[in-house]
Chains A and B, each alone.
Chain A
């Protein structure tokens, strides 16, 4: 799927490479990427299912308005993936429905 991405990068060799994981899969990112941008570049379209009907959703506005790109970032659920910059070794998971209260780390912000 990574090689099948419809998205390309401009030729910018000066940007530093970073690595993160999404649902256990390794994703190559670049310094300055938001988590949502790195996933889109890697060919990921679906990043959560809705709490209401379980429908698939992915990032929509990329500017913090729509809350479609909610994901779990380093153990914190319901974080806007477009508003967080990638850090080396970050662990990202898709959100399935609403956040759960049992997970540790929920009381801390991004």
Chain B
């Protein structure tokens, strides 16, 4: 393995790009590995190549990422797109595959910026072809300028549901319906967090604008929906649901689901970092200090991977994590670190003010945390919620034991999609807090790597 690089950043979303900017500004050569073909993460996906038409459709918050992208072409940064990281060690070794070739690199400081993924929304029929996430619809729009012009239903809860509706309506799509599953109780429960949220009112004003667009569009908007069921043989053909006890059915060719996003903890878990349960966001997040630093001296986590915070907060958080790493590298003095951190610290604090309100308002409906017995929760191995409950009856205590009972979490996605569902179902069935049940133990390789790729890995000289 070659000499260690001083700073290695994984993920080129807002946190990773901002961290790279801070490294370049401090004169430190950083390596930025990203799995996607172009930088920007999912939020600013393909922004560097997006046409005017695409930018117009996606709106100002998408175009706002442009100043971050400049660093990708800076001489001081080694940006490697299309790099799939499959192992990171606590000692700072990173193994990845790029262009069919396995590579190894070591770093003195690592910043994990692996972002968020969609929270699973299991209900009968959610595995049918034609059912996708709202994030997937946005990726189609950002990456390919493709959108569902007719026959689409949007279902679930959260800001992205409304944002996508607004963007698709703007693109000229004729949506069949928006089926909102936000429980009515959530509005009341979220109120106590409203005063704090109003101190950074931008998010709420944007939300109101989305609601106005959707209301004015004439698209049927069902609120308080529950008991979702997707119907179809080889593809989704309709969505059934209940509103105030009354059964509805809407015919659709595509169904886009959303119930918030959760941190992608695959890398931080594989490193054995401590994670704690966040009751308000109902997800796990790594335990970090004010600089995103973990209990491993070489490893920091920044952005949504550290806890859902949104793009602007993630950008500021990425700066703070980079400044912390530059201090640990001995590049910045404590005073200089703190001086450079003053701006981003203020942005971060301001941008996370609306989170408790949004997190409480959009807490998932219990139907999709504890789905009906016949619902597939592990899509890869086709394990149902009822099977998980049966394992608990037989003495299964947690998700790692559940693997041995019925292979949940052992398919190609390695538990990324079912992990939260399996833990929630076991906790409820056992009647214990989620912390006691825990999460899948994540082990490398965290992405599949072929023996052929492994054979291309250069052996370290001292091995």
Contact = CB atoms under 8 A, between A and B. Distances in A.
Interface of A: 6-12, 14-15, 30, 32-34, 37-38, 40-41, 45-47, 50, 52-53, 55-68, 70, 78, 82-83, 85, 106-110
Contacts of B379: 57, 60, 66, 68
A66 B143 contact: no
B148 interface: yes
A63 B347 CA distance: 28
B451 interface: yes
Interface string B158-184: 000000000000011100000000000
Interface string B29-69: 00000011100001000100101011001000000000000
A88 B150 CA distance: 29
B144 A33 contact: yes
B338 interface: no
Contacts of A34: 143-144
Given A6-B148, A6-B149, A37-B140, 19 more contacts: A6-B152, A7-B146, A8-B147, A10-B54, A10-B57, A15-B51, A15-B145, A56-B129, A58-B235, A60-B133, A61-B136, A61-B417, A62-B136, A63-B135, A64-B35, A65-B264, A66-B413, A78-B412, A107-B450
Contacts of B100: 108-110
B145 A6 contact: no
Contact of B145 (A10, A47, A78): A10
B435 interface: no
B139 interface: yes
A20 to B, nearest CB: 14
Interface residues of B, number: 60
A88 B145 CA distance: 19
A46 B164 CA distance: 23
Given A14-B51, A57-B129, A6 B151 contact: yes
Contacts of A56: 128-129, 234-235
Given A59-B132, A63-B42, A85 B235 contact: no
B80 interface: no
Given A10-B53, A63-B139, A108-B100, A58 B130 contact: yes
By CB atoms of chain A within 10 A, which of B97, B132, B416, B417 has the most? B132
Contacts of A40: 140, 146
Contacts of B46: 32
A55 B379 CA distance: 11
Query: Which 10 residue pairs are nearest across A and B when measured between Cβ atoms?
Result: A58-B129, A107-B452, A109-B100, A62-B136, A67-B412, A8-B149, A10-B145, A37-B144, A45-B129, A62-B139
Contact of A109 (B172, B235, B452): B452
Contact of A8 (B49, B146, B381): B146
Nearest to A109: B100
A103 to B, nearest CB: 13
Nearest to B382: A52
B171 to A, nearest CB: 7
A57 B127 contact: yes
A32 B144 contact: yes
A109 B368 CA distance: 37
A55 B382 contact: yes
Nearest to A47: B129
A70 B452 contact: no
A80 to B, nearest CB: 9
Contacts of A9: 144-146
A50 B128 CA distance: 11
28 contacts: A6-B151, A6-B152, A6-B253, A8-B149, A9-B146, A10-B51, A10-B146, A11-B53, A41-B144, A45-B235, A52-B382, A56-B234, A58-B235, A60-B133, A60-B136, A61-B132, A61-B417, A62-B139, A63-B136, A64-B35, A65-B413, A66-B413, A67-B380, A67-B413, A83-B84, A106-B452, A107-B452, A109-B97
Given A32-B144, A108-B100, A12 B54 contact: yes
Contacts of B53: 10-12
B105 interface: no
